[in-house]
Structure 1
């Protein structure tokens, strides 16, 4: 039994059925929290509603039971956690991803509304993600059912950043509160923060009541229009959920059929599909502005000498690559490591000094959650930075090289798609079957590195099974690295550090 989420009203664990060997998410509610009548009614309502819902975009309900201490609810296990964790890692997602997620959420909401169920707490944290990157709506703790046509509920409930104005004013609310929440979700995915968020609850509620929010100019007209319709102050003016997928936002833009798991940490490679153009060079694509540049320390070769400057005549000369490869064979494993022990010692001392007091309760950290392990990491590497650079293989089988001239070349696991990033961070996407003459030497070296690692190096970590959606994945590249006599430190562009 492994914890999934510290939770508030309940605690969630990953449970294993010893007879069937199936895994479930177990929601455990202490009966000490179910003393008052309205608390018991809330728990009963949640179970009564959720157990009647069976849909591909709703968390599966597998049963419940109780003992003297707790109520136990068995639910479908969503290993990729929720859109909240994705949001924390990515902040903003692309419009294509937003279309993908929103389409699935809307289909789930359409099903609920067809069953007369109002969720009333749609938010990123209640939108779970399964192994195939499909959305599953969960947590029906605040859900209710319409008992008769036109009924207006008056309970004050919801999450502050997503709560509709008619709920705050207690004018009576119905299905339209879910439409409002859809607008808040869409805005948060695209902009990176909820539309009415402030530093105080009072100010947030005031902004909601005044319908005061701002859509950045970078948001497309179709997305802007749909968000505005969702967040209309008058609930009767909000779009009909049953007709939402006919909106221009879904019919005119690229809607991926599936997304790669790498989307949890890195934007997918969808721009070429959106523009319906062949894979061509994408000018001006840069790393996130908050990502620090590669340090001078990381740029130094292991032996401490400055890499030779790449001159124009060197690029024009037709070097004998086979001879270079022979040199690699002779010298791999014979390089002296650059010693950074003083810097490492300082960091180790800080870590040891910061050891928490054993008396303090253990804090649940996402990094301790097995489901939150990096999607991609380096499983093999070969260091030839005294002449060319660092070659490495990711756990999905893709290969990359960070060259000494600060350019990067990556080969997808299919062995055909390449990604090249020049020193100005411009990206291009050639193919192994067709690439510019200027990349010939680098492609040859990458091929050699791949063959060498396949034949001579052991793989660390688990093996990933390729999925069709991985064709959309933008591979993380080597951001920076350095090495000491006893360790190598690798930092990928998706935030993974090894």
Structure 2
């Protein structure tokens, strides 16, 4: 990556003493103290101007601006300017050296190029086109980046060619059989997370994630999910038989894979899209059709890319996402399907967190949907929607593979069966573990 800055409109030849004429010239915001004081200036004044340019590029405004000209000139002489706290220590240090009031204390160009700001940390190989409109995303630390790059290199070839990501194929019949066993954890140099052994769908604990709000507090989402469960539990007297239900399109995760000890928790939605909640709290999803990718860094803003425009630092995470999606598409059976077409998930739809024990797994999504999957009975329970659109959808072994949905009015009129009541209590217990 090269940046060339040139402006020779006020260039002058350096005299025998190493100084130019004592003249006041140049853009006022970028003039060095020796230029303002007319004490004679030379190449060190250009170093000062580089400091102003660097400050402006990193903050969006020049270091010396917004004041009457005499006051601004005094600030320049004193080297007095705002120091943004959001800049990295290496950036602040280099700016301080470049904007030293004494020209002799400023670094040479060779020293600038050897500064930690340019030699340490992450430097992108290239910048995507969208950087002209919005900041590029560089979200994870180098150690995690190296890990995911290795995963991408070693493991992505295990599932080539890439699986198609279409709603039709993603909702087709899956692999039948008993519940998969636990996927064995492997070392970095070991087997890929796409082994011949089958996948255990439950795990103890929950991923660390701070996606709920800037403070990383999931309490509002958990409380909303808890209220939904209480609405069902308190809807009416215990029903002796199943209440009347109907088939409704429901967005939920019929497939998932837990590799959270090393990488993250992957899932496939009923609309055919796939997502991964990574160990660092970030979330990435691949949406059909068209294959656009949405990414939200930990406590960060949602970014959406075309598949071909995913930034280089995120390609390793994309490789892990596609690997998980390929594994789920090819090797995992579905826990039920929905025949009614499901509206595609919005780009900001994501898995916030999960919790599990030996009996059940609960998934909490960003739109308020709660999914509870039970290990022994293989029953799936999904609570979705709000108000009049609220639905409790149930998949049971031997029942319709499309699932049966119950509105809140139906539950109030007929109540829940003892089995549904017990499922809700187990899900409620797991939700309380997330608090």
TM-score normalized by the length of structure 2: 0.39
Structure of greater Rg: 2
